[in-house]
Amino acid sequence: MPIARHFLTPERDLPSQAAGYLARDWEEGNLDLGAVLVVVSSRQAGRRLREALAVRAAASRAAVFPPVVVTPEFLVTYGFPRGGVASGAESLLAWAATLQEIDPGMFRAVFPTLPDRRDFPWALGTARELMRVKRLLAEGGWRMADIASREAGDLPEGDRWRDLGALEERYCRKLSEAKVRDPDEARIACAENPVLREQVEKVVLMAVPDPLPLALRAVERLSESLPVEVVIAGDSEPADLFDEWGRPRPDAWESREVPVEDEDRFHLGAGPGDQAKRAGALLAACGQPVKMAAVGAADAEVIPFLEHALPRDCGIDGYNPEGRPLRSQELYVVLGTLRDLLRSPSFAIAGELLRSPLFFRSLQADGSYPPLAQLLRAWDAFYQRCLPGDLDEGLRLARKAGKDAAVVRKVIERIRELLGELARGPVWKVLPEMMRALHGRRGFDESDDSDRRYTAAAGELMTLVDGLRRSPVAATIPRGADGLDLILALLGDQRVEEERPDAAVDLLGWLELAWEDAPYLVLTGMNERSVPETLTGDPFLPESLRRRLGLRDNRDRTARDQYLLEYLVRSRRESGRVEIVFGKTSEAGDPLRPSSLLLRCAREKLPERVDRLFAAPPASRARAPWTSPWKLAPRRVEVPETIGVTRFGRYLQCPFRFYLSDLLRMEPIDTRKTEMDGGEFGELCHAVLEAFGRDERLKRSADAGEIGAFFEERLDELVADRYGKTLSVPLMIQKESAAQRLAYAARVQAEERAKGWLIEDVEWTFGEGGELEIGGFSVRGKIDRIERNEDTGAYRILDYKTSDKNRHPREDHWTGLKKNDDPDELPGYARLSLDGKDGRWTGLQLPLYRRAVRDRCGDGVECGYFTLPKAVSETGVRVWEGMSPDLDGAALQCAEGVAADLRRGRFWPPARAVGYDPFEGLFFGIVEDLVDPAALAGGAGKEEEAP
C-alpha cells in the first residue's frame, strides 16, 4: 500500500496537533483508536501523546481507547516469540563465556595485544564492548560476519571483521545450544517479518525524525498489508526537506538558517553550575514556571546542577522523567559491597557493609544486637586495637578477645554466613533468599517516594534474577563475585523512574523536547557535540564505516537536531519563548563551544553572532571575606577528683587544649589505620619489659643473651596475641622495630644489672587510695619500674620511653622562654628558672613520682628514663641529674597551682603557640576568635548518648 505523508504545522505544539491528527475522523462517543499502531520517538513522547489524546477527548466529555503506542526500538521486538530470544543477560553471558573459552591468540586481528588476565571481569568488559558493536550493526540490519563477507575488498580492517565474524559465530552457536536466538538477529528477522496484534488496521509514524533504520524496514514491510501514514511536524515546502519517512534530509538542511532571531536569547554560563544558575534565574523571572515552563538539558551533565539550582533559585523542583540511575540506589551499592567482599573479604569492606542501612537494619531486626551507635563503636574499637586484615583473621582475634569483642564476632559470623550463602549457588538462586533474609519483615510504603524508588530498584533486580533463573543457560551463570559482577553490569545502566512532584518543572533530554508543549522553554547545554549530537571516532565503527553501512551518521544527526531546534523555536513564536543557555567549560574544565547550529544565521549577521557567542564568560562573583558563622562552645564537663600525673604537663602546655583532650577526651579515630600508633607501640614494648620485671629469676640476670631471648619470645607472644599470626607488612616492620629496640634494651639491662641495679617493682601504681593529694585532687600514676642498687642501696625509678627521639627527662619537664612567649601571660607557678635561664614547667611526671615514692624509698630518689629510641645505639638509662629538693618543691608548688586553676575551672586563654596542634582543623589558627570562652563556664552537658 502507498505510504502517505501528512504535515503538521511547525508553528504549533506537537502533542495537541498529533492528537488532533489521530482524532480527525472522530465524531462522537469515546475516541477509539485501538486499531491504530502509532510509532513515536520515545516512551516519554508516547506518554505525552496519550495525555494529549485524553485532553482532546475530555473537551468533548469523552475518554479514549488509546492506540497501540510503540517506540521504533520496541517495534522490532514486538513479534519476538516468547522464550525464544536471548535476554540481554543471556547475550552478555554467552559473549563472556565465548571469550573465556577462546584462545585470543587465534584472533590476533581483534586482540593484537593479548590481555594480561582473562578473568570474568575482563570477559564481561570485552563482552559489553562487542555487544555494543553488534547492536549498532543490527540497527542497519547487519551482522558482524556480513561486514567481512559482503563488504570485503576495499574495507579497512577486513581481517578484524573476519575474526569478529568468527567470534560472533561461536557466540551464536553458544546461544543456539541453549535454544535461544541472538536478540539482534531476532530484531533483524522481526523487521523482515513484523508481527502485530491482529486488530491493528493502520500504522502511523508520528513525528519521528530519527527512527531506527531497522524499524523503518519493519514499517516498510507492514506497509505491504496495512496503510501507513507518516506524520511530519514541519514545512511541506520545499519538498525535499524530509524524506518519505519524515527524516530531515541532510542536504536540504545544511544550508538552512536556524530561525533564532533575538540575540538576547543567548546566555553564556561559565560551567554547568553557572548554566543551571542562569536557567534558574530565567525561570524565576517568568512568573509561573510550573504552569508555563520546561527546561531542556541537551547536555546531561547540567541536569544534577539544575536539580540543585532550581529549588534554590526559584523555589521549585526540577523533575527528570528519565529517573535516577540505578547505580546510585542503595540496593545496588550493597550488592557492590557484597561483590567486593566476596572478591576480597577485607575487614574494612565488611565495615562498609555494616554501615549500610540494609545490613544494620537486618541485624537490629534480629533483636540480639545492641543499637547501631554502640555496635559501630565496638567494631571500630576492635579494629583499632587488633587491625585485622580480613574477616578470617578478624574472627580469630575476636574469638580470642572474648566478651569484649563478642558482638564483633557475631557480626563477622553473620557476614561470613551471608558470603557463604552467596557463594553457595548460582546468583539467581541465592540472591532472592539472601535479600529476603536481609529485609526480614520490612514493608515498603508505595506512597512514600523513597520506598517506591527502592521497590522499583528491587523490581528491576528481581526481573533480572528471574530472567536468569528461567534462562536455558541458568546452569552456566557464575556464582559468587562473578555472578554479582554480572548482575551489577546489567543493572548499572538502568534507571529508576520517580514520581513527579505536583509543583515541578520538567527537565528533559534534547530528543524529548519536540513533545514538550510548555510555552516557555529554557534550553541548557546548547553546546557543540551535544547539539548537534556528533560522534567522532570509534574503536569499531567510525563515521566512515557507519556511513558506508547506512547506519545513522553525523550528517543525519545534525539535520535532525537542526530540525528540532527550528521546531522548538517556531512552535513558540506566537505564544511562547525559547531561551538558549550554553557553557564555556564542562564540569571537568574542558572547553566547550556553543552549538554550531546557533551560528547558522544570515551571512551578514555572522560576525555579530560570533562576537555574541564567543564572548568571554561572565566574571565570577566577588568572594566574601572569611568569616565564621558561629563561635564554638565546648560543652562543660566537671573536672574529676582524681588526676593522673601526666595531665599536669598537658595542662601546663595549654589549658584549653587540655580541656579538649583530657576532659572532653576529644580523640579522633584513624579510619585508615594500618599500623600501631606511637602509644600502642610503646605499650607493646612496655608489656615485654613488664613481663621481664615480674620474672623473679630473669630480672636478676646480667646475661644480655638470656634477657634478649626472653624479650624476643615475649614479643612474639604479645604480637600474636593481639594481631594474630598473619601480620600485615606494616605490623611486621613495627614488630621488627620493637624487636630491634628490645635487643639493645637487653644489653643495657644486662649492663645496669651488672652495676648492681635490681628491679624491685614494675608498674607500681599509686593514688588509687589517695596516697598523693595535691590541691584537693587525688593524684594517681603508674611507675614503670622501681629498682634498687644492691651495692649502694639507692633507689631509682625509671619510666620507659619509646618515642623515636632520645629525649632527656629535663626536656620533657622544662623549657626556656621563647622569643614569642609573653611571661606576663604565664601563671607564676608555671615559671621556673633553671641554670640561670628563664623558663617554665612543661611536665611534672618525674618530680611527682619522686613525691609518690617518698614513703617507700625515701627522699632524693634518682629518677630518669629507660629510653628505647629509633637510633638504637642510643638506648640507655638517662637520669635527670639536676633533680633536687628545691626542684621538687617548685614542682609541687606548680602542681598545686595547676590544681587550684583546675578547681577554678580556668581553661582560658589558650596557649598561643603549641607544637603539634591536633585541633588546628577546628580553629584555623585563630582559636581565640572562634571559641566562646563563656561556654566553658556554662551548664554541664549530657554524657554519651543512651544506647
Stretch that binds another protein, among 409-417, 443-451, 843-851, 859-867 (CB under 8 A): 443-451
- Closest distance between another protein and the C-beta of residue 747, in Å? 14
Site for another protein in 276-305 (CB under 8 A): 281-282, 285-288, 290-292, 304-305
Stretch that binds another protein, among 57-65, 186-194, 478-486, 877-885 (CB under 8 A): 57-65
Is residue 589 near another protein by the rule CB under 8 A?
Answer: yes
- Closest distance between another protein and the C-beta of residue 752, in Å? 20
Q: How far is CA 822 from CA 492, 832, 901, in A?
A: 63, 14, 19
Instruction: Note the Cα 713 to chain centre separation in Å.
Output: 45
What DSSP string describes 542-600?
-HHHHHHTT---HHHHHHHHHHHHHHHHHTTTTT-EEEEEEESB-TT--B--B-GGGG-
CA torsion angle 681 685 691 696 (round to 10): -170
Secondary structure element (H or E) that encloses residue 763, with its range? strand 757-766
Identify which of residues 205 and 599 has a Cβ nearer to another protein in the complex.
599
Pairing of strands 757-766, 777-789: antiparallel
Site for another protein in 362-381 (CB under 8 A): 371-374, 376-377, 380-381
Residues 6+ apart with CB under 8 A from 360: 354, 372, 375
Is residue 945 near another protein by the rule CB under 8 A?
Answer: yes
Stretch that binds another protein, among 168-176, 592-600, 807-815, 854-862 (CB under 8 A): 592-600
Position among 259, 440, 705, 885 found at the interface with another protein (CB under 8 A):
440
- Cα–Cα distance, 351 to 705 (Å, whole number): 44
Q: Cis omega (within 30 of 0) on the bond before 66?
A: no
Position among 100, 223, 476, 596 found at the interface with another protein (CB under 8 A):
596
Identify which of residues 604 and 768 has a Cβ nearer to another protein in the complex.
604
Q: Tell me the β-bridge partners of 766.
A: 781
Identify which of residues 93 and 232 has a Cβ nearer to another protein in the complex.
93
Residue type, 626: W
Is residue 724 near another protein by the rule CB under 8 A?
Answer: no
Site for another protein in 869-888 (CB under 8 A): 870, 873
Q: Are 711 and 688 in contact (CB under 8 A)?
A: yes
Site for another protein in 250-279 (CB under 8 A): 254, 262, 264, 270, 273
Position among 192, 243, 390, 690 found at the interface with another protein (CB under 8 A):
390
Q: What is the 3-state secondary structure (H, E, C) of 178-198?
A: CCCECHHHHHHHHHHCCCCCC
Stretch that binds another protein, among 2-10, 215-223, 432-440, 879-887 (CB under 8 A): 432-440
Task: Report the interhelical angle of 120-139 vs 213-222 (nearest 10°).
Answer: 50
Site for another protein in 114-173 (CB under 8 A): 114-117, 121-122, 124-126, 128-129, 156-157
Identify which of residues 239 and 624 has a Cβ nearer to another protein in the complex.
624
Look at residue 68 and give its three-state secondary structure: strand
- Cα–Cα distance, 786 to 718 (Å, whole number): 23
- Closest distance between another protein and the C-beta of residue 853, in Å? 32
Is residue 424 near another protein by the rule CB under 8 A?
Answer: no
Q: Tell me the β-bridge partners of 504.
A: 317
- Closest distance between another protein and the C-beta of residue 931, in Å? 8
Nearest one of 712, 316, 722 to 502, comparing CA atoms: 316
Site for another protein in 682-721 (CB under 8 A): none
Identify which of residues 376 and 401 has a Cβ nearer to another protein in the complex.
376
Site for another protein in 620-679 (CB under 8 A): 620-630, 632-635, 660, 664-669, 671-672, 674-676, 678
Max CA-CA distance within the chain? 124
- Closest distance between another protein and the C-beta of residue 429, in Å? 9
- Closest distance between another protein and the C-beta of residue 882, in Å? 24
Position among 60, 77, 100, 455 found at the interface with another protein (CB under 8 A):
455
Site for another protein in 815-874 (CB under 8 A): 870, 873
Look at residue 132 and give its three-state secondary structure: helix
Is residue 940 near another protein by the rule CB under 8 A?
Answer: no
Q: Are 42 and 511 in contact (CB under 8 A)?
A: yes
Instruction: Note the Cα 304 to chain centre separation in Å.
Output: 16
- Cα–Cα distance, 647 to 639 (Å, whole number): 12
- Cα–Cα distance, 513 to 94 (Å, whole number): 38
- x-or-dash string of contact with another protein, 519-548, rule CB under 8 A: xx-------xx--x-x-xxxx--xxx----
Identify which of residues 431 and 750 has a Cβ nearer to another protein in the complex.
431
Site for another protein in 737-756 (CB under 8 A): 737, 740
C-alpha cell at 737: 622495630
Q: Please tell me the count of residues contacting another protein according to CB under 8 A.
A: 196
- Closest distance between another protein and the C-beta of residue 808, in Å? 17
Is residue 765 near another protein by the rule CB under 8 A?
Answer: no
Is residue 938 near another protein by the rule CB under 8 A?
Answer: no
- Closest distance between another protein and the C-beta of residue 435, in Å? 4
Is residue 176 near another protein by the rule CB under 8 A?
Answer: no
Is residue 193 near another protein by the rule CB under 8 A?
Answer: no
- Closest distance between another protein and the C-beta of residue 140, in Å? 18
* DSSP 8-state code for residue 661: I
Site for another protein in 77-96 (CB under 8 A): 81-84
Is residue 917 near another protein by the rule CB under 8 A?
Answer: no
Is residue 51 near another protein by the rule CB under 8 A?
Answer: yes
Task: Report the interhelical angle of 120-139 vs 183-192 (nearest 10°).
Answer: 10
Is residue 903 near another protein by the rule CB under 8 A?
Answer: no
Identify which of residues 581 and 863 has a Cβ nearer to another protein in the complex.
581
Pairing of strands 577-583, 266-269: parallel
What DSSP string describes 778-820?
EEEEEEEEEEEETTT--EEEEEEE-SSS---HHHHHEEEPPTT
- Cα–Cα distance, 139 to 210 (Å, whole number): 12
Is residue 35 near another protein by the rule CB under 8 A?
Answer: no
